Structure 1
Amino acid sequence: MLTVLRRRNYGLLWIAQLISMIGDWAMFAALPFFIYAVTGSVMATGAMFMIQVVPSLVFGSVAGVFVDRWDRRWTMIGSSLFRGAVLVILLGVRSADMIWLVYLTGFLESTASQFFGPANNALLPTLVEKDQLLTANSLDSLGENGARLIGPALGGVLLASIGLQGVIFFDISSYVLAALLMYFIRVPEDVAAPAPAEDGSAASALSAFWDEFAAGLKMVTGKPALSRIFLVLGIAALGDSILTVLLVPFFQDVVGVGSAEFGLVLTVRGVAGILGGIAIGAIGSRFKPNHMIPFGLIGTGVALVAMVVWPVFTISILIMILLSVPLMAWLISSQTWMQSHAPGEYLGRVFGVYGTLSALLMLIGMAFASGLGDALGISTTLYFGGGIYILSGLLALALLPGISPAVVEAAEHPVP
C-alpha cells in the first residue's frame, strides 16, 4: 500500500482528500448540535440532513456530464474552493430565525460535492497503474474512516472551546489547503482533455448536453458489466439504508445500552473500517472483484443477521470488527469494478448516475425501514435488511463472474 501512496500525484490527492474530509466530519459533528441548541427542534435538525440529499437526486447525473467535459483536476479544485466560500454564509447565523442560512449552505455545498465525487473517481485511475487501482481505492477508504475518527472529535472540541465560528474556519481552511495540494497534481499527458464544442449557441449547447447525458445512461444500461453491478448495488443500498436507520434503535432498545456505549460502537466501527481497508488493500489484488463483491455482500448480510440473533453488547462489538472485512471488500471492489469497466471519457457520467441512484434508493429504504421498524419491530426489520444484503450477494454471484475484468474491453467495445 505504501508503494501506491508514494506515487507523487496520487499521494497529493490522498492527503488533500484526508484534510478535506477531516474538516467535513468536524462540521458534520458540530452543526447538528448547534442547530438543536438554537432551535430546540428535532425536525429542524433532521431537515439539514434531508436537504443535503436533494442535490444528489437532482444534480448527480447532470454533474457527471460536465465532469466528463471539464478538466477533472480543476473541477475538484473549483468544487473545493466553492464549498469553502459558501461556508462563510454560516457566520451570519445567530438565532433560530436565521437557520434557513444553514439549509442554503448545506444545499450549495452538497451541490458542489456532486461534481467533486465523480471527478475524483474519474481522475484516480489516471494516477495509478491498472494493477494498483484496488489498493488505491482501499487507501481512499482508509482515509475516509480515519477522517471519520479524527474529524468529529476535533469538531466537538472546537465547538465547545471556540464556538461554531471555530469549526467554520477550520472547515474552510481544510478546503483551501486541499485545493492547494490538488493544484500540484500533474495528470499524465496521455490523458486527453475534453474537446470544446465548436458551436457556442445555446440551442446547440443544450442539444449537446442531452446527447452526452443520454450517452452516459446508454453506457450504464447497455453495457452488462455496468448494468449488472448497478442492479446489485441498488439492491444492497436498500439493505444499507435499513441498517443506517435502525442502528441506534437496535443498540438502545434491543441491546439495551446508552449513549456512552453507542459512542464506543461508532469508534469501533471507524477503527474496524480502517483495519478492513488495510486488509483489502493487502490481499485484495489476489482475488478478482467479481468474487470479492459477492463474498462481501453475503458476509455483510450474515454478520447483520448474527448481530440480531445474539443481541449482546460484547458480541455485537466483535461482529462489527469482523464485519469490516466483507464490508470493505464489496465497497472497495465495486468502486474498482466501475472504474475498470467504464471508458475514461464516461467515468464522470457513470459515477454521477450511480450517485443519483444510490441517493434515491437510500431515501426509499430509509422511509421503508422507518415504517416497517414501527410495524414489525426493530429485530424483524433488521433480519429483512440482512436478507437483502444476502440476496444482492447471491445476485452478484450469478451475474458478475461471467464478465471480463479487462479495462481495454470497455474502451474497445462502446455501446452501440
Structure 2
Amino acid sequence: MLEALKVRDFRLLWTGRTVSLLGSWLLVIAIPAHVYALTGSLLATGLTLVAEYLPPLLLGPFAGVVADRWDRRRVMIIADLFRAAAVTLMLFATAEHSLWLVYVALIAESTGAVLFRPAAQAHIPAVVGTGGGLSSANSLNAAVDGTVRLVAPPLGAVILTFAGFQTLIWIDVASYLVSAAAIAATTRTTAQAVSKRVLADLAAGWKVLRDLPIAMALLPLTAVFLAANASLSALLVPFGIRQLGGSEQIGLVVSALGIGFLLGAVVIRRLVDRVQPRFLLAASQLATAVAFLLLFSSTSLVVALPAGVAIGVFGSMTLVTSQTALQRAVPNEALGRISAVFLTAEALATLIGALAGPLLAQTVSLSAAVVVACVVTAGGALAGLAVMPRAAQAECVV
C-alpha cells in the first residue's frame, strides 16, 4: 500500500492533498452552523450545499480541457491559491446582511476545486505510472479520506466552539497555501500544448470517452451509485434522531464510516490489481446496499456502528476500483477531460440524490426511501456485471 510513497513527487502531492483536505473538512459542520447562527433559517443553511455544487455542474467539462491543455502542476498551484483567497471572504460575513459573502466564497472555492481535481487525477498516473504504484496511490488517498472524515468534522466543531469561526477560516486558508507550496516543490513538467479550440477539445474528449467501453460503462454506474448513496446520506440525521437517540449517536456513526474508509483502503490495495473491475464493483456495491439496509433498520448502536463501518469499507472499495480502472483505461492526454466529465456527473448525481431521498421520505416514508435507494444500488451492481467489458481486467497486475 505504501509503494507510491517511494516517489518523491507523489509524497509532496499526497502531503499537500492531505493538509488541504483536512482544512476543508474542518468547515463541513462549521459553515452550516455559522449560517444558521446568523439567520436561524433552514433554507439559508441548505443553500450552502447548492453553492458548492453549482460550479461542478456548470464548469466541470471545461475544467477538464484546462487540465489537458495546460501544465497540470501549474493549474493545481493556481487553484490552491485561488481557493485560499476565496475562503478569506468568509471572514467578513459577520452578520446576516453580509451572508452573501459566504455563498460567493463557497462558489469561488468550489470553482477552484473544479479546476484542481481533474488536474490532480490526471497528474497522478503521470507521476507513479499505471501499475501497482497507481493502485497504491489511490489506496493511500482513500486512507486519507477516511482519516479526515473521522477526525476533521468533530475537531472543526470543537474549534468552532472554543476558538471561533474566524480561526477555522484561517486554518483552511493556511492549508491551501501549504498544498500550493508542496505542489510547487514537485518536479516541473512539460507543459501541454495550449489550444484555443475549447469546443473542439471537448468534442475530442467525448470521442475518447465513447471509444472506451469501460469508461462508458463506468459513467452511468458511478452516477447511479452516488445518487443512491447521497439520498441515504441526506436521511442519516433524521434517522439518527428518530431511531438512534440524537446527534451524539449520529456522530459515532459518522466516525464508524471513517473507520470503514480506512479499512477499505487497505483491503482494496490487495484486490484492485488481482480481480476484474466488473466483479469487484458488483461485489462491493451489493455489500454496500446490504450494509445500508442494516444501518437504517437498526434501533441501537450495536447494529448501527458495524453497519457504518461496512458502508465505509465497501463504499471506499467501489470508488477506488472505479477511479483506478478509469485512470488505467484513458490515455493520459485526455484524462483531465474524462475525469472532469465524471466529476460533473458525480456532482449532478449527488445533488439529485440529496433532493430525492428526503422528498420520498417526506411524501411516503423513511423506510420506503431506504428500500428504493438500496434496490437501486443493488440493481446498479447487477447491471455492472452485464455492461462492464469482460476484458476490463486490471491492466498492470503486480
Shorter-chain TM-score bucket reads over 0.9
1:370 matched to which residue of 2? 358
Q: CA deviation at 1:283?
A: 4.0
Q: Which residue of 2 aligns with 1:18?
A: 18
Distance 1:324 1:148, change over 3 A: closer
Q: Deviations over 1:336-374 (max 9, x none)?
A: 011111110111111111111121222222222222111
Secondary structure (helix, strand or coil) at the match of 1:403 reads coil
2:317 aligned to which of 329, 332, 338: 329
SS at match of 1:133: helix
1:309: Cα distance to partner? 4.3
Contact 1:21 1:151 (8 Å CA) reproduced: no
Q: Which residue of 2 aligns with 1:251?
A: 240
Partner of 1:162: 163
Say which of 184, 190, 193 aligns to 2:191: 193
Identity of aligned residues (%): 31
CA–CA separation in structure 2 for the residues paired with 1:156 and 1:365:
26
Distance 1:240 1:368, change over 3 A: same
Give the CA deviation at 1:310: 4.4
Q: Answer yes or no: is 1:289 the counterpart of 2:277.
A: yes
Task: Answer yes or no: is 1:358 the counterpart of 2:346.
Answer: yes
SS across alignment from 1:285? coil
The letter for the 1-side match of 2:350 is M
Distance 1:388 1:362 in 2: 14
Supply the distance in 2 between the matched residues of 1:284 and 1:222 (Cα, whole angstroms): 23
The number of aligned residues is 395
SS in structure 1 at match of 2:94 = coil
Q: Which residue of 2 aligns with 1:275?
A: 263
Q: Distance in 2 between matches of 1:98 and 1:108?
A: 16
Structure possessing the higher radius of gyration over alpha carbons: 1
Find the aligned partners of 1:376 and 1:79 in 2 and give their Cα distance: 43
- CA deviation string 1:108-146 (max 9, x = no partner): 110111010101100111121322212211110111121
Give the 5 Å matches for 1:122-161.
122-129=122-129, 130-161=131-162
319-328 or 13-22: bigger deviation: 319-328
What whole-Å deviation, never above 9, does each CA across 1:244-276 have from its counterpart, x for those lacking one?
A: 2212222222x2421111111111111221122
Q: Please list, as runs of the form range in 1=range in 2, the aligned pairs for 1:8-407 lying within 5 A after superposition.
A: 8-129=8-129, 130-186=131-187, 193-197=191-195, 205=196, 208-253=197-242, 255-405=243-393
Quick check: 2:69–2:193 contact (8 Å CA) kept in 1?
yes
Task: Provide the rounded CA distance (Å) in 1 between the counterparts of 2:391 and 2:60.
Answer: 27
Distance 2:297 2:256 in 1: 20
TM-score (norm 2): 0.94
Q: Tell me the CA shift for residue 242 of structure 1.
A: 1.6
Per-residue deviation, 1:76: 0.7
Q: CA RMSD in A?
A: 1.8
Once the two structures are TM-superposed, the CA of residue 401 in structure 1 deviates from its matched residue by: 4.5
Runs of 5+ unmatched residues, structure 2: none
TM-score (norm 1): 0.90
Q: Is the 8 A contact 2:214 2:389 kept in 1?
A: no
Letter in 2 for 1:139: L
Q: 1:319–1:71: structure 2 CA closer, same or farther, 3 Å change rule?
A: same
Quick check: 2:259–2:312 contact (8 Å CA) kept in 1? no
Cα distance between partner residues in 1 of 2:84 and 2:67: 20
- Alignment check: 8 A CA contact 1:225 1:403 kept: no
Q: Which moved more, 1:216-225 or 1:294-303?
A: 216-225
Q: Quick one: structure 1 residues 354 and 407, their matched pair in 2 at CA, closer, same or farther if it must change by over 3 Å?
A: same
| 3-state secondary structure, aligned to 2:272 | helix
Equivalent residues of 1:300, 1:323 under 8 A apart = yes
